């Protein structure tokens, strides 16, 4: 399908769309703020979901009929960008382009789209174009084709929020703390999260980490004492639901949890107020909203085991992350190499990477996450890394991380207070895990690569577990309240586990924070690094530990710490690093990542830098075999008189 569309683009390029190179002045005629015109029906399939239904000719690009627009290279490009950019910035870019190719016409006047919307989208989407070595389309020139607020411009993306910003009125007589234990459509989920954030605006906010392949916002609700800001020494936790679209219990549990946290905070619950004032909590109820729509169309009780599991690209998102576990096993066999903060292999980006997966990886770079849980369905057990066996051909093999003891504590923190996981009946859901205490090492259950939990542990500071909430993937509505009662306390207790172990600040002798300093624990071959403010959190089991802080250019500092068994608050352990003298710099070397296909991210492999994806420094996709044109240019070789050279960056 993509080849056909691109071929159509090649044939269409000879039509008279306006390119900067065609105009004697070096540009296209700039439309005025409002031009009188004869409005006609908008009958363009690619623009069928625009926020208006009337347009006018000629267009700002001098197309004088619908046929001319449909045959233009600009229009066909809009229809294939979705695929070229692998779902990124969709449908935003398409609707923005439609606002130029088919301008909005009302009352005999053409209205221009707002410049601020164009500029915001350009900033967000430019890396996606850079990744395929494509120039920003000339007809999306924010200064030429877009207007200012005072000119009466409009937001061409308003349709994306259609119905989502409308306040949903609760039935009369219900208190504001009311939680409706039902399944939530995408629009309903967004309304509930935004309404909850508005009710608790002093401790909550919503934000998007990106879009799904079909353009749905991946909406997060955050709770903290200062929403939107990382506070010194405050650990960050994320909970993710619905990575598989047909496993919906986690999605609903997080929607309910958001409402519960808000209500309990307003009611003055000491526990919840203390939790929100000392922890930054991020809830992503649906990582796969496209898959959910497929599953929800069949309905609870009728959903097949796999219907809606994948995203809209037919990708299993929990198999779509980089396989860093294989690299870990390779590095672990060599002494003197680091096995943490492993770089993403370059070859990974040449495969099919879902926009949802990219969104999670970028999200992980925006905050120093310490703890995470991914909520699934299909069984009743808590699993923890590694999920991939240390012997690749073994389907089931115990494969622990260096932090095996801590991961078991995290898993038990959830399972030990879940009433059904502690049920002694072997005939129940998940009864086959009873002898294990309803927890299991992931690879010892079944081995797979590309999982999100392994990636969290090996690429960042974050420890993530996987929670299977029940044997029914899409439970009936009447079961949701009971599910909430079973999981409320485990969810809260798990979040509170982020305060176990030690925390502190690493600074130099002048009190200046040292970012990306390494915190090592003797006997555990897995380091964590400090955040930009120099603060760190190291999850550790009870006992005595030798802790080492170190950074290039400084002498290392070693301290012995003892964590009591009943201690539920992280111990404060600060480090002051002294600069090295004139002698050789003795600091622990990082891993020798010179093997094939591996590169460190620009500026090092610290956990708070941009992800190593195409368009980001050394991992940018290179031109094709000819060396002069990007890989997609071969589709345009049949162009005749007017080649769309405005797509080229060089």
Q: Which residues are catalytic?
A: 468
Closest CA to 430 of 386, 467, 395: 467
First to last CA, the chain: 28
For 490, the enclosing helix (H) or strand (E) is: helix 480-496
If one counts every other C-beta atom within 10 angstroms of the C-beta of residue 152, the result is: 13
Helices (H), 163-248: 186-199
The residues, any chain, with a CB within 8 Å of residue 454's CB and separated by 6 or more, are 321, 324, 325, 385, 386, 387, 388, 442
Where b means 16+ CB within 10 Å and e means fewer, 322-350 reads bbbbebbbebeeeeeebbbbbbbbbebbe
For 537, the enclosing helix (H) or strand (E) is: strand 535-538
Handedness of CA 323, 328, 345, 283 (dihedral sign): positive
Query: How far apart, in whole angstroms, are the C-alpha atoms of residue 220 and residue 320?
Result: 21
Distances (CA, A) of 369 to 5, 438, 442, 599: 42, 26, 21, 23
Query: How far apart, in whole angstroms, are the C-alpha atoms of residue 409 and residue 412?
Result: 5
Query: How far apart, in whole angstroms, are the C-alpha atoms of residue 193 and residue 259?
Result: 8
Closest CA to 102 of 147, 135, 70: 70
Query: How far apart, in whole angstroms, are the C-alpha atoms of residue 328 and residue 319?
Result: 17
For residue 223, list its beta bridge partners.
204, 281
Torsion of CA 559, 564, 569, 571, to 10 degrees: -10
Place of tokens 């879940």: 418
Place of tokens 């929670």: 467
Distances (CA, A) of 392 to 203, 251, 387, 399: 45, 32, 11, 11
For 239, the enclosing helix (H) or strand (E) is: strand 236-241
Three-state SS string across 496-516, please?
HHHHCCEEEEEEECCCCECCC
The residues, any chain, with a CB within 8 Å of residue 95's CB and separated by 6 or more, are 47, 49, 50, 51, 156, 157, 159, 160
The residues, any chain, with a CB within 8 Å of residue 216's CB and separated by 6 or more, are 186, 289, 290
CB under 8 A, 24+ apart: contacts of 557-561: 561/502
Closest CA to 357 of 253, 469, 459: 459
Torsion of CA 138, 139, 140, 142, to 10 degrees: 90
Q: Is 232 exposed, middle or buried (0-12, 13-18, 19+ CB in 10 A)?
A: exposed
* Joined tokens for residue 491: 């969810």
* Joined tokens for residue 332: 């672990």
For 258, the enclosing helix (H) or strand (E) is: helix 249-266
The residues, any chain, with a CB within 8 Å of residue 27's CB and separated by 6 or more, are 20, 144
């Amino acid at each position: 399908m993509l080849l056909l569309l691109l071929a159509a683009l090649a044939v269409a390029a000879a039509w008279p769309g306006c390119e900067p190179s065609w105009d004697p002045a070096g540009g296209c005629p700039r439309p005025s703020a409002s031009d009188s015109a004869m409005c006609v029906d908008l009958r363009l399939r690619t623009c069928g979901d625009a926020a208006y239904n009337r347009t006018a000719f000629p267009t700002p690009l001098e197309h004088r009929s619908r046929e001319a627009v449909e045959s233009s290279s600009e229009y066909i490009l809009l229809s294939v960008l979705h695929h070229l950019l692998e779902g990124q910035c969709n449908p935003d870019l398409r609707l923005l382009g439609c606002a130029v190719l088919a301008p909005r016409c009302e009352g005999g006047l053409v209205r221009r789209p707002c410049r601020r919307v164009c500029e915001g989208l350009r900033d967000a989407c430019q890396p996606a174009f850079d990744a395929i070595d494509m120039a920003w389309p000339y007809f999306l020139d924010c200064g030429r084709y877009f207007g200012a607020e005072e000119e009466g411009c409009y937001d061409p993306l308003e349709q994306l929020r259609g119905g989502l910003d409308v306040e949903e009125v609760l039935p009369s007589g219900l208190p504001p703390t009311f939680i409706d234990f039902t399944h939530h459509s995408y629009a309903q989920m967004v309304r509930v999260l935004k309404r909850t954030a508005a009710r608790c605006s002093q401790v909550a906010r919503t934000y998007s980490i990106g879009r799904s392949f079909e353009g749905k916002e991946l909406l997060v609700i955050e709770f903290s004492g200062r929403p939107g800001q990382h506070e010194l020494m405050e650990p960050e936790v994320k909970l993710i639901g619905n990575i598989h679209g047909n496993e919906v219990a986690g999605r609903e549990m997080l929607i309910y949890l958001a409402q519960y946290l808000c209500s309990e905070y307003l009611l003055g619950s000491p526990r919840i107020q203390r939790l929100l004032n000392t922890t930054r909590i991020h809830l992503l109820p649906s990582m796969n909203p496209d898959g959910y729509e497929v599953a929800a169309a069949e309905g609870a009780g009728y959903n097949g085991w796999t219907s809606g599991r994948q995203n809209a690209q037919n990708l299993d998102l929990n198999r779509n992350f980089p396989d860093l576990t294989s690299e870990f096993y390779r590095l672990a066999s060599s002494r003197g190499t680091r096995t943490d903060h492993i770089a993403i292999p370059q070859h990974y980006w040449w495969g099919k990477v879902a926009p949802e997966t990219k969104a999670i990886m970028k999200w992980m770079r925006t905050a120093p996450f310490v703890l995470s849980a991914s909520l699934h369905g299909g069984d009743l057990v808590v699993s923890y890394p590694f999920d991939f066996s240390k012997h690749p051909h073994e389907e089931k093999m115990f494969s622990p991380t260096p932090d095996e003891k801590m991961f078991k504590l995290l898993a038990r923190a959830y399972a030990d207070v879940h009433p059904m996981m502690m049920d002694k009946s072997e005939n129940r859901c998940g009864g086959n895990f009873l002898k294990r205490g309803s927890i299991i090492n992931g690879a010892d259950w079944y081995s797979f690569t590309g999982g999100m939990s392994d990636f969290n542990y090996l690429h960042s500071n974050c420890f993530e577990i996987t929670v299977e909430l029940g044997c029914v993937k899409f439970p009936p509505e009447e079961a949701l309240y009971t599910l909430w009662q079973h999981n409320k306390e485990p969810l809260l207790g798990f979040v509170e586990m982020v305060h176990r172990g030690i925390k502190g600040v690493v600074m130099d002798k002048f009190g200046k924070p040292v970012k990306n300093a390494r915190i090592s624990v003797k006997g555990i071959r897995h380091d964590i690094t400090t955040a930009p403010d120099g603060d760190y959190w190291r999850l550790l089991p009870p006992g005595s530990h030798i802790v080492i802080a170190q950074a290039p250019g400084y002498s290392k500092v070693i301290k012995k710490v003892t964590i009591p068994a009943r201690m539920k608050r992280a111990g404060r352990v600060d480090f002051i690093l002294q600069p090295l003298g004139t002698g050789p710099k003795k600091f622990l070397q990082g891993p020798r990542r010179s093997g094939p296909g591996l590169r460190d991210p620009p500026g090092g492999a610290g956990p708070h830098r941009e992800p190593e994806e195409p368009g980001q420094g050394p991992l940018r996709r290179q031109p094709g075999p000819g060396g002069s044109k990007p890989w997609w240019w071969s589709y345009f070789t049949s162009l005749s008189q007017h080649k769309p050279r405005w797509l080229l960056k060089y």
